[in-house]
Amino acid sequence: MALDIAPKRLPVPEQSAEERIKNFNDVVIGYSIEEAVAESARCLQCKNAPCIKGCPVSIDIPGFLKAIKEKDLEKSWDIISQYTNLPAVCGRVCPQEKQCEGVCTVGRIKGYEPVSIGKMERFIADWKAEHGSKVAPKVPEQTKGNVAVVGSGPSSLTVAGDLAKMGYKVTVYEALHAAGGVLMYGIPEFRLPKAIVRREIDNIKALGVKIETNVAVGRSVTIEELQSHFDAVYIATGAGTPHFMGVPGTSLNGVYSASEYLTRINLMHGYEFPKYDTPTKESEKVVVVGGGNVAMDAARSALRLGAKSVQVVYRRSLEELPARIEEYHHAVEEGVIFNWLTNPVEYVGSETGNIVGVKCIRMELGEPDASGRRRPQEIKGSEFTIEADTIIEAIGQGPNKVLLSAFQELKLNKKGYIDADPETGQADPEWVFAGGDIVTGAATVILAMGAGKKAAEAIDKYITEKKAAGK
Ligand code: FAD
Ligand code: SF4
Ligand code: SF4
C-alpha cells in the first residue's frame, strides 16, 4: 500500500559519536519547528488511534500532532499536559518502540516507519519551556483531602501532580537530597539532562505539591505518623537495591554495582571532579555485565569518563536485549563492544586485590524460561578471559527495603514487592496505595507513571467515599 506521506521518519539531529563521547551533554539535539511540522504531517489521524492505547498514560497523540501540523504549539502543549506531568522526560526515555510507536499504523505498513511520537513530545515540552507562555497553571483549591507520597520517582510525581489537579493537598517525602528518583540518580545527563528533570518537577510544585527531601519514611518519619496526618498514603519507593552475580572475586577493588557507579556520576556529579568532590575510578578497560538500559548507561558513561575500551558481556543474544534499541545503537556508534552469549564465572585479581580481568564462559540458548525468553546454558570448556581494571555489574535490582522492613503489616507478594491491585494500586492495609517498580519489579518510567495515574483516580474515589461515610 502506498501512502501520500514520506515513508521514513525525519531523522532527528544528534551530536556525532566522536563529539559526544567527550561530553555529558544531551546526545539528541531535537527537531526544529520546521522539522517537527514536517514530521507531524506523517500522522494519518487514525480514527481508532492505536497509538493512544499503546501509551500507558493515554496521551491524545493524534490531537497533539495535529496541533503541531497547524503550527499551534501552545495548543499542542495544552493537550499533552492534560495527560502527563513529565513530557520532556518521557519524550527522551520511554521505550517508544514497545509502546506508542510500536503500534502506530504507519509503522505497520511495509516500507514505512512509525511517526516519531516520542521526539515530537520532547519537542513540544522543550519548546514550551523556552518559548511558550509563562502563565501559571490554574489549580483548584486543595481542600478534598491530604495525601502523603513516599518516594519522588516518576510514579510518585504522577500521582502527586494528578491529585493536586483534582484538589488534594499532597506532600512527597524523598529519602535522598534531590527529588526525581531514578530520573535524577540513575539515567545519565547525556540521555536525560537533570535541568530538564528539575524543570518538570518545578511544574509539579507549581500545582501546589510540597516535596520534602532527606526524609526516609520508616526511619526519620514512621508510617504510623503518616497514617495519623493523611487520608491516604501512596508508596512508590522503587527497586534500587542492586543484585550481584556472586561470582568469586566480587569483593576485589574495582568491582561496582551499576547503581553505585551511576549514582556517583549523576547525583553526586562524579563526572565534574574536581569541581564536585566525588571521584570516580579512572578506568582504561571496563567490562559491564548485563543487557538492560542500566548496562548501556554504565558502559556509555565509562566511555565518557575516558576508558579506552568498554565491553558489554551479555548472556543472551541481541534479539533478547532488554535495553531500548536507540540506546543500543548509540552505544555501538560510540564504540562499545558487545560479547553476546557470554557470562562471567570469576573476577580475577592481582596480588594487591585489584581487578585485572574477568573469566567468562560462552553460552547457548535452550528452551524458553518463565520470562518467555530462551534460557542460556553454559558451553562446557569454552572459558576465556577479558582484561579489565573495572567491572560494573548491571544484572537487575530488587525492592528498596527501608520502608518495607519498618512496615510489617504491609502485605508483600512472594518476590518481596508490595502486593497491590494492578487496576487501582490499593494495597493491604486499605489506606495504602502503591505503584511503580516497588510493585512490578524494575520496569519503565512510563509503566510507573501509568500506575500512578490509575492510583490517583482510585485514591480520589477512596477518600471521597471515606469522607461521605463520615470516617
Ligand atoms: P524510582 O524512580 O526508583 O524512585 C523511587 C524513589 O523512592 C527514590 O528516589 C528513592 O530514593 C525513594 N525512596 C526509597 N525508599 C524511600 C523511603 N523509605 N522514604 C523516602 N523515599 C524513599 N526506564 C525507561 O522507561 N527508560 C529508560 O531509558 C530507563 N533507563 C534506566 C536507566 C537506569 C540506570 C535505571 C536504574 C533505570 C532505568 N529505567 C528506565 C527504569 C525506570 O527509571 C524505573 O522503572 C522508574 O524510575 C521507576 O519509577 P518509580 O517511581 O517506581 O521509582
Ligand atoms: Fe509514547 Fe511514552 Fe509519550 Fe506515551 S508518554 S506517547 S508511550 S513516548
Ligand atoms: Fe498518527 Fe500513528 Fe497514531 Fe495513527 S497510530 S494516529 S498514524 S500516530
Q: Are residues 315 and 349 in the same domain?
A: yes
Instruction: Please check whether residue 388 lies inside any domain of the structure.
Output: yes
C-alpha cell at 59: 496521551
Q: What is the CA radius of gyration of the chain?
A: 23
Q: Are residues 54 and 37 in the same domain?
A: yes
Instruction: Please check whether residue 8 lies inside any domain of the structure.
Output: no
- DSSP SS3 for 395: coil
Picking from 373, 396, 419, the residue at the C-terminal end of a domain is 396
Residue-wise pLDDT for 406-430, tens only, equals 999 999 999 999 999 999 999 999 9
Instruction: Please check whether residue 374 lies inside any domain of the structure.
Output: yes
- DSSP SS3 for 200: helix
Q: Which ligand is nearest to the CA of 100?
A: 2
Backbone angles phi, psi at 457, to 5 degrees: -60, -45
Is the pLDDT score of 451 beyond 90? Answer: yes
Q: Are residues 23 and 95 in the same domain?
A: yes
- DSSP SS3 for 53: helix
CATH number where 37 lies: 1.10.1060.10
Residue 114 DSSP one-character state: P
Q: Are residues 290 and 303 in the same domain?
A: yes
Q: Are residues 153 and 107 in the same domain?
A: no
Instruction: Please check whether residue 236 lies inside any domain of the structure.
Output: yes
Distance 74 CA to ligand 3 centre (A): 21
Distance 190 CA to ligand 1 centre (A): 18
Is the pLDDT score of 162 beyond 80? Answer: yes
More confident residue, 463 or 143: 463
Residue-wise pLDDT for 297-338, tens only, equals 999 999 999 999 999 999 999 999 999 898 999 999 999 999
Mean of pLDDT values over 59-76? 98
pLDDT category of residue 359 using cuts at 50, 70 and 90: very high
Mean pLDDT of the chain: 94
At 272 the pLDDT is 79
For a substitution probing ligand 3, which of 4, 39, 43, 79 has the most ligand atoms within 8 Å of its CB?
A: 43
Instruction: Please check whether residue 104 lies inside any domain of the structure.
Output: yes
Q: Is 153 left (phi over 0), alpha (psi -120 to 50) or beta?
A: beta
Q: Are residues 37 and 121 in the same domain?
A: yes
- DSSP SS3 for 21: coil
280 within 8 A of 270, measured Cβ to Cβ? yes
Atom 8 of ligand 2, nearest CA residue: 118
At 187 the pLDDT is 95
Atom 26 of ligand 1, nearest CA residue: 93
CATH number where 459 lies: 3.50.50.60
Backbone angles phi, psi at 250, to 5 degrees: -60, -30
* Angle of helix 73-83 versus helix 61-69 axis, rounded to 10: 170
Q: Are residues 276 and 388 in the same domain?
A: yes
Instruction: Please check whether residue 97 lies inside any domain of the structure.
Output: yes
pLDDT category of residue 275 using cuts at 50, 70 and 90: confident
At 1 the pLDDT is 66
For the CA of 50, the nearest atom of ligand 3: 5
333 within 8 A of 367, measured Cβ to Cβ? no
Instruction: Please check whether residue 438 lies inside any domain of the structure.
Output: yes
Is the pLDDT score of 134 beyond 90? Answer: no
Q: Are residues 249 and 236 in the same domain?
A: no
Q: Are residues 255 and 384 in the same domain?
A: yes
Q: Structural domain of residue 70, as residue ranges?
A: 17-131
Is the pLDDT score of 385 beyond 70? Answer: yes
Instruction: Please check whether residue 9 lies inside any domain of the structure.
Output: no
- Cβ neighbours of residue 188 closer than 8 Å, sequence gap 6 or more: 24, 262, 265, 266, 297, 300, 301
Q: Are residues 179 and 45 in the same domain?
A: no
Is the pLDDT score of 372 beyond 90? Answer: no
Q: Which of 415, 436, 460 is nearest to 152 (CA)?
A: 436
Is the pLDDT score of 3 beyond 90? Answer: no
Backbone angles phi, psi at 107, to 5 degrees: -70, -15
Residue 118 near ligand 2, beta carbon < 6 Å: yes
Distance 205 CA to ligand 1 centre (A): 19
Beta bridge partners of residue 242, listed in sequence order:
397
Tally of CB atoms within 10 A around 277: 10
Residue-wise pLDDT for 386-412, tens only, equals 999 999 999 999 999 999 999 999 999
Mean of pLDDT values over 234-249? 96
55 within 8 A of 61, measured Cβ to Cβ? yes
Residue 61 near ligand 2, beta carbon < 6 Å: yes
Find the range with the poorest average confidence among 86-95, 126-135, 313-322, 358-367.
126-135
Q: Are residues 161 and 263 in the same domain?
A: no
Residue 61 near ligand 3, beta carbon < 6 Å: yes
Mean of pLDDT values over 184-200? 95
Picking from 396, 417, 447, the residue at the C-terminal end of a domain is 396
Picking from 131, 162, 180, the residue at the C-terminal end of a domain is 131
Number of domains in the chain: 3
pLDDT category of residue 464 using cuts at 50, 70 and 90: very high
Q: Are residues 192 and 258 in the same domain?
A: no
Percent with pLDDT over 90 in the chain? 88
